[in-house]
Structure 1
Amino acid sequence: RLKTMAMTLNRNELSDIKEYAEGLGVKFRFDPILNPKLDGSKTPCNFRLSPEEVVKLDLADEKRANEWREFCERSIGPYQVDNLFNCGAGVSTFHIDPYGQMSSCEMVRFQNYDLRRGSFEEGWHRAIPEFLALKPTSDYPCGQCELISLCGQCPGWAYLENGNPETPVEYLCQIAHLRAEAFNTKEL
């Protein structure tokens, strides 16, 4: 399997990369969603494709477009979540950085458990569930958004992008709305 990030630096080479992978008999996919660095630097964001370009790439590949249509068909709709975290982070996976800090996800840097001061058991069975049970402290628009499954909105990403885990990442919102417009067969 070959995967690449789609960005301004290689947007005109994606079809060549796909052709190369197919020539090798391996599956190819790309991810057009660049996030800030883990230290909060937004330098990678300078190489993001515009939301319109992301959806144009989705539409250009028939298989990818069909996958998005099927996903929209089963995933868009009324959504109500009370917790800040609504993804799979910390459910069956975790992240430990080189300094022994355990978190629910590699992007979540605003909450962690120090394994140098406690046990893995304590971190996995007490700390991570406490992190995942966090409730938004303000009006959290993502918790009621019908398109949240399309956007990849996440507290870790929001913290890196905005310095606040509850502030939506506008770039992701824009892509979600454009994808819903392009692929949704239901009336919103």
Structure 2
Amino acid sequence: MKQLDAESYFAAVSSNALQTRRPEGVTFELTYGCNLRCVHCYNPTHRALPHELTTTEICALLEQVADLGVLSVTFTGGEPSVRPDIGSILRHARRQGLVIHLMTNATRITTSFTDLLREVGISQIIVSIYGATEMVYERMTAVPGSYRQFRQGLRNLAAAALPVIVRMPVTTVNCEEIQACRQLVESLHIKFQYCLEIVTATTGDQTPLQYRLTPEEKVRIDQELLPHRWAETSEESCSANQSFIDCACGHSRFAITPYGEMNLCTAFPIPRYDLRNGTVKEGWELLKRTVDEAKPNDRYECPTCEVQPHCRLGRSDAWLETGDMSSCLPHYKEWAQLEHHTHALLDPRRPR
């Protein structure tokens, strides 16, 4: 009998969920409270406010999530570990049979916390890295001493041999340290990834975009770090010919905020369905209707745009920046044009 690895299994489940419109995953923001003050953060606040969900409310929602047939939960924040009840929450998720992922800055990862993660059978830990040196890291986090705490937390995770991925949000502050970050992470035998997308805050505040790289810088970084990608020709397919909202939002995934609001995604905070006065099942039906009823207006150019196969623009990006899901954002179009041009130049079928 053929055996699937975990990655292949989850890919198969996700594909089936997209077809059946049954949710396979939820991103659960446990708190907006955070011990860092990252300059690029898109959350509405760094403080844990009194009206965040209680332990009892979170556990009840996890039961509803499991009853709906959801396979996995990704706990994030803020920084999830600042909640004193994090152990109770993780254990309850485990009892519901949920596959658990955790997103963290690792600054609070002690050996006792790694023991907890092992106890609940954590499936994946996604750690953010903001720089390879103390100066750059703390320019990003705006908290003195956070670099030392991060390094210790990462060492604790490595020593515990837990399943970790370290992901770097690349900004104007830390872009010169990508290779150094990769070396730091891989020296601990941990997988390294980077992300070039910095987005508007969920409040509409565009301050984080001050730290976004230019399209030229993004393409240069990809060329340097992903050389194999540029020797291939991209697929000639256009997802815009499918659903208007064509990501997993409302198709196979959803998000829950610390205030008990159910949304399409953490970066797509609509329709703000109130779970304190409703159920996860009812909220999922509303999310599906929200996606199905979303229609483009006359400003929607994606289906006829020649660079669309290279474009990273999502409906959430357009909505956050302009309030209009149909908008074409100049930054993303320029980025796609550069990628289209670079692919054309390096296409092995191109006459020499």
Deviation of 1:53 (Å)? 0.5
Q: Quick check: 1:3–1:31 contact (8 Å CA) kept in 2?
A: yes
Superimposed CA distance per residue, residues 124-174 of structure 1 (whole angstroms, 9 cap, x where no aligned partner): 1x2111111111133411244354343222222111111222112221221
Match of 1:66 in 2: 228
- Go from structure 1 to structure 2 and tell me whether the alpha carbon gap of 1:88 and 1:145 turns closer, same or farther (over 3 Å shift): farther
Task: Return the TM-score normalized by structure 1.
Answer: 0.85
Q: Quick check: 1:65–1:183 contact (8 Å CA) kept in 2?
A: no
Match of 1:132 in 2: 291
- Would you say 1:165 and 2:310 are equivalent positions? no
- Go from structure 1 to structure 2 and tell me whether the alpha carbon gap of 1:80 and 1:44 turns closer, same or farther (over 3 Å shift): closer
- Go from structure 1 to structure 2 and tell me whether the alpha carbon gap of 1:82 and 1:136 turns closer, same or farther (over 3 Å shift): farther
AA of the residue aligned to 1:12: E
Residues 11-90 of structure 1 mapped to structure 2, 5 A cutoff: 11-61=175-225, 64-67=226-229, 69-70=231-232, 72-74=233-235, 76-77=236-237, 80-81=240-241, 83-90=243-250
- Would you say 1:122 and 2:122 are equivalent positions? no
Give the secondary-structure state (helix, strand or coil) at the position aligned to 1:131.
helix
Superimposed CA distance per residue, residues 4-50 of structure 1 (whole angstroms, 9 cap, x where no aligned partner): 11111011111111111222222212111110111111111111111
- Would you say 1:95 and 2:259 are equivalent positions? no
Q: Quick check: 1:94–1:102 contact (8 Å CA) kept in 2?
A: yes
- Go from structure 1 to structure 2 and tell me whether the alpha carbon gap of 1:112 and 1:43 turns closer, same or farther (over 3 Å shift): same
Superimposed CA distance per residue, residues 42-84 of structure 1 (whole angstroms, 9 cap, x where no aligned partner): 11111111100100001112xx2323554x522x345552643
Query: 51-60 or 78-87, which moves further after superposition?
Result: 78-87
Give the secondary-structure state (helix, strand or coil) at the position aligned to 2:327.
coil
AA of the residue aligned to 1:73: S
Give the secondary-structure state (helix, strand or coil) at the position aligned to 2:253.
coil
Task: Return the TM-score normalized by structure 2.
Answer: 0.48
Q: Which runs of 5+ in 1 are unaligned?
A: none
Higher relative contact order (CA 8 A, sep 6+): 1
Give the secondary-structure state (helix, strand or coil) at the position aligned to 1:4.
strand
Match of 1:6 in 2: 170
Equivalent pairs counted in the alignment come to 182
* RMSD (Å), alpha carbons: 2.2
Q: Which runs of 5+ in 2 are unaligned?
A: 1-164
Q: Determine which of 308, 318, 321 is the counterpart of 1:148.
A: 308
Q: Once superposed, which parts of structure 1, at least 4 consecutive aligned residues long, lie more than 6 Å away?
A: none
- Go from structure 1 to structure 2 and tell me whether the alpha carbon gap of 1:80 and 1:104 turns closer, same or farther (over 3 Å shift): closer
